[in-house]
Structure 1
């Protein structure tokens, strides 16, 4: 498939070059302006939102030569990333000290978290077809339901263009034996647009174990399609379809009680294979001169995971999610009341989740019906409020009600924006936590209760020198009750784990800082810093423990310079993670181990040869830092990548 994608891209470029077709002048993505589509059930200008957000655009991803979404998220305040092993290893993302399944991940508005685990494995997500990444921090369950306890990531893929055609192809190779080929084609007519993309990534990887010498590589194939059609001037159709097939080599841990290597990562011949489908189909109807908007959408996702040992499938799971939703929004003005502009939204959702593990001859399912209401108001063109409430009718759990309120106040005269939000969140037990089973290591608990959370944040954004320098400082505070944790019991010579609801309370608080500066016309700087204090109680009234894999201090610094009339660009970045703790399973019972802090320095450059071709390169971990993100698992040393990108 790699050869097919690369050959197709090169052949198309050659044909375009020899046909005298119109030259492509600049790779400018379709701009969504300053609109956030995830900060509520209706889009809103980012300056009018009281929620803590970050937007990463395709332009920023390309300028930094970013390859993986997980690496892009390392520069987002409040986000910590930990990868178990090589590039194909499980990659978890935690927000503001919360668990990885407290982050709702959507692709084009479709929930892609696995029903088996409740979280999304970022190891399979590359950036080639991405238009922008929207990040919302803080509880968002009032809008999006379960798992949006600590935040939401919505990955918006590239769409088509009207009345034309354009394409992009690129190929890349790395010093670690990796290769990447991708092809994007998009076009359309007067009343429709369409985008199709394909990408294939292979990595040679490295040995994640201290034993043996086998490198653990992975393969990832991704196909994506997106369609928009104006059926009439007032009725629009849109659809998405995505397929991912990936296979990653991993090394397992030895949990044989009494073994001299108990708890250590061994150089085993393990493989994790994943196949993912997701898609959606929606209709949007507008009337009353755009004042009344109705939306109906049907979406679904399906994920199959297989675990292999020495070429034999030892376990597998399959989970799916089907969602149908309808919402109606009415916007109106009440100018006599503080020059007010208002919108009211009401919505209904139905969702069915299914789960089938390989150790059983039957599966499980659960349904939820939800009602959502949202209000959005603007006053005096400087004060903005937003509130929402949601009630979930669950057939397997107690019904739940969540809420969210937020506000922003702009002082145009001083370049100041105040923002604050308060909300509740909920995370339902995963199917695996309820019904999962792994011989000799794990037994589920069908009596688990949902986790509940309450959080708030407040901050100030201040611009200086005509917005050449902008800084935002935000304080956050969030608690968690009914936290699901794991207990261990010695059974038949091995420790067997079982999930239970913890009686104590987890507390997370901290500060997020973001600063951007245009030092010169072509010299830019961006910096982030996060302080996180995340602690948990093993029992009500008990001592508080620092939660694992949550660095107390994190930060990033990026400096970029463009020259030669913007044809060339160089950048350097540093990503810092402070000391953190992790579970050490080499002791019996397990204990805590400190993971030393580290700084990764990356650098890259790109040069646009002409309107059609550019070359680029990137060095990751330039100084070959030795570090751990998960106890016992080695990480990637210094590696360099070079590539060429063509437009047609």
Structure 2
């Protein structure tokens, strides 16, 4: 593979020789929970983790969860149009259903399609996002081949604090959000709501004959509307007993280009609810019991008839129950033992032969530090009602040198259980399918960018290889789903964050070779819709009450089909932003999106928004 010189130039800050230009700042080490299912400082995690805080979301002036995720290394997105349209995510080149999505610890996503509609998660209610790249089935079970993304809603706590935002922009976009949080010394609560609207763009210019894209020509604007609500509360009765409960709901309406058979209006309702109790029977023993439910209701309607007619409905209910014991064996060693239970139920206008299944998983995880050496081990056994027993495991070891550079090596296995569509969809499903299986190797080098006694930033470089067997695809010989595909994905990720002079700088580079290894005509081809090169550079600076920033995102070419016959060109996106502090509580923000007015596609025949501007007024104490 050859890489453009500009991509290489963007990674210059990734190497320590530039530290003479870096100002000394102290960067606090975030505490993460997703990588190991227990709290640990981010710097002690041997996994590739990216943490997005609420302050980052507001500084970027992001407008959706996909908008936040697109600049994270290893992530590429494919979007069928503008706001609210179907968005699929590829993490480290794995399939779009190979990433586990959690909201406040609750597993979400459609059990029929196997995907999570991230475009319908209300960003206004999100406090934090943790992205773990690399296999995590040994902790979470199915779906975590590419990694895990956990979204945390606003929690609250402290004195009573109101918040409010009002925004408007191009394409008839408008948004209003309000909420209040508080709780005092031992309690916490948050109540929030948001409403967003957009007239949208013409999502698709399809081709009826031969069929391509959406298959129709409907030169109209495909609008979007979302209503989101977040409720969360908890109380620490003592240092040994804590209780937390949460509810996140969104009602979404999106127009799309379709037909009288497939519909052209989607009404989607998503709800995630859960509760957890954390007990500390002994100083060295923490017990957490949690229960949750995610609910996904989708209706496709057509406007070609009057009144609107429902074309299809899909309901998914996922009930989860978990028990986890965390044991502090020594000050530097921890053992976690737990049990997960998952029950999937579906109801649909489509006749599925089977409409429910459950899964029981037992897992263990060990974390130990022996001087400069860190060791992490985990193993899991899943017993699924449909496909039976499946075991996974992982091991990682890291060594930290005297100059604070850490070298780490890891190996892990993962799997993905077939979705209900794969198994039981009429005239396609195959109940004899096996889980998709993966093996991953990774080597990483991480370090700080030092200057004097303080750390100015961090950098890391990671090389990985993922091999996936028994990939599920359509078999033209039987006209059903079958385990006949294979893939091998090799990649390198490099990231850095620092302060140069008055500027805060973050940058990352991903180079990837996602190769189809299946026997047949597509062997050696690039997996569909994955760019082989992506790079991102973000610059931000504060001028008293003013702040300014820009984000540059470069994505290389990709192919829309397994045969690599339809090529989607590379593109460069530049976003500009500024903010003015009217007072300690009021801020006025302006964002210019796609400032170069780049015309590009991430899915063939589906359009992306042109240059757009958004103005937002925020209030928060």
Q: TM-score, normalised by structure 1?
A: 0.85
- Contact kept, 8 Å, 2:436 with 2:470, in 1: the verdict is yes
- Select the residue among 388, 392, 401 that pairs with 2:391: 401
Partner of 1:271: 265
Runs of 4 or more, structure 1, over 4 Å off, are none
Partner of 1:501: 483
- The more displaced of 392-401 and 306-315 is 306-315
Matched, 1:227 2:233: yes
Shift of 1:456: 1.8
- Contact kept, 8 Å, 2:353 with 2:424, in 1: the verdict is no
Shift of 1:325: 1.1
Shift of 1:212: 4.3
- Select the residue among 404, 411, 424 that pairs with 1:422: 411
- Contact kept, 8 Å, 2:263 with 2:311, in 1: the verdict is no
Superposed CA deviations along residues 141-194 of structure 1, whole A, max 9, x for unmatched, are 0111110111000011121113x2001100100111011111121011332111
Partner of 1:581: 559
State the distance in 2 between where 1:481 and 1:116 align.
Answer: 22
Q: Do the aligned partners of residues 647 and 239 (structure 1) sit closer, same or farther apart at CA in structure 2, a change above 3 Å counting?
A: same
Shift of 1:89: 1.2
- Contact kept, 8 Å, 1:86 with 1:250, in 2: the verdict is no
State the distance in 1 between where 2:514 and 2:228 align.
Answer: 36
Shift of 1:57: 1.1
Partner of 1:175: 170
Shift of 1:537: 3.1
Matched, 1:309 2:302: yes
Shift of 1:363: 5.7
Shift of 1:365: 0.6
State the distance in 1 between where 2:107 and 2:416 align.
Answer: 14
Q: Do the aligned partners of residues 269 and 303 (structure 1) sit closer, same or farther apart at CA in structure 2, a change above 3 Å counting?
A: closer
- Contact kept, 8 Å, 1:80 with 1:93, in 2: the verdict is yes
Matched length: 577
DSSP 3-state at the match of 1:468: strand
Shift of 1:377: 0.7
State the distance in 2 between where 1:78 and 1:132 align.
Answer: 19
Partner of 1:537: 517
Shift of 1:499: 2.3
Shift of 1:119: 1.8
State the distance in 1 between where 2:491 and 2:416 align.
Answer: 22
Shift of 1:79: 0.4
State the distance in 2 between where 1:414 and 1:63 align.
Answer: 32
Q: Do the aligned partners of residues 204 and 69 (structure 1) sit closer, same or farther apart at CA in structure 2, a change above 3 Å counting?
A: same
- Select the residue among 320, 324, 336 that pairs with 1:323: 320
- The more displaced of 223-232 and 550-559 is 223-232
DSSP 3-state at the match of 2:531: coil
Partner of 2:134: 138
State the distance in 2 between where 1:70 and 1:314 align.
Answer: 28
1:341-420 to 2 correspondences below 5 Å? 341-360=332-351, 364-380=355-371, 382-411=372-401, 413-420=402-409
- Contact kept, 8 Å, 1:619 with 1:641, in 2: the verdict is yes
Shift of 1:618: 0.3
DSSP 3-state at the match of 1:499: strand
Superposed CA deviations along residues 321-355 of structure 1, whole A, max 9, x for unmatched, are 1111111121022xxxxxx7211121112111112
- Contact kept, 8 Å, 1:582 with 1:593, in 2: the verdict is yes
State the distance in 2 between where 1:500 and 1:591 align.
Answer: 21
Shift of 1:635: 1.1
State the distance in 2 between where 1:362 and 1:474 align.
Answer: 44
Shift of 1:583: 2.5
Q: Do the aligned partners of residues 415 and 343 (structure 1) sit closer, same or farther apart at CA in structure 2, a change above 3 Å counting?
A: closer
State the distance in 2 between where 1:498 and 1:221 align.
Answer: 38
DSSP 3-state at the match of 1:184: strand
Q: Do the aligned partners of residues 220 and 376 (structure 1) sit closer, same or farther apart at CA in structure 2, a change above 3 Å counting?
A: same
Shift of 1:32: 9.8
State the distance in 2 between where 1:529 and 1:582 align.
Answer: 22
State the distance in 1 between where 2:549 and 2:479 align.
Answer: 46
Partner of 2:433: 448
- The more displaced of 227-236 and 539-548 is 539-548
- Contact kept, 8 Å, 2:259 with 2:302, in 1: the verdict is no
- Contact kept, 8 Å, 1:348 with 1:372, in 2: the verdict is yes
Partner of 2:565: 592
State the distance in 2 between where 1:270 and 1:192 align.
Answer: 46
Superposed CA deviations along residues 362-387 of structure 1, whole A, max 9, x for unmatched, are 8611111111111111122x322111
Q: Do the aligned partners of residues 309 and 472 (structure 1) sit closer, same or farther apart at CA in structure 2, a change above 3 Å counting?
A: same
Shift of 1:468: 2.4
Q: Do the aligned partners of residues 366 and 546 (structure 1) sit closer, same or farther apart at CA in structure 2, a change above 3 Å counting?
A: same
State the distance in 2 between where 1:253 and 1:547 align.
Answer: 29
- Select the residue among 463, 479, 500 that pairs with 2:467: 479
Superposed CA deviations along residues 450-487 of structure 1, whole A, max 9, x for unmatched, are 10101121111132333325321100110101101124
- Contact kept, 8 Å, 2:157 with 2:183, in 1: the verdict is yes
Superposed CA deviations along residues 103-124 of structure 1, whole A, max 9, x for unmatched, are 0011111111111122211111
DSSP 3-state at the match of 1:465: strand
- Contact kept, 8 Å, 2:144 with 2:415, in 1: the verdict is yes
Structure 1, gaps ≥5 residues long? 1-30, 256-267, 334-339, 490-495, 585-589
Partner of 1:281: 275
Partner of 2:287: 294
Partner of 1:94: 90
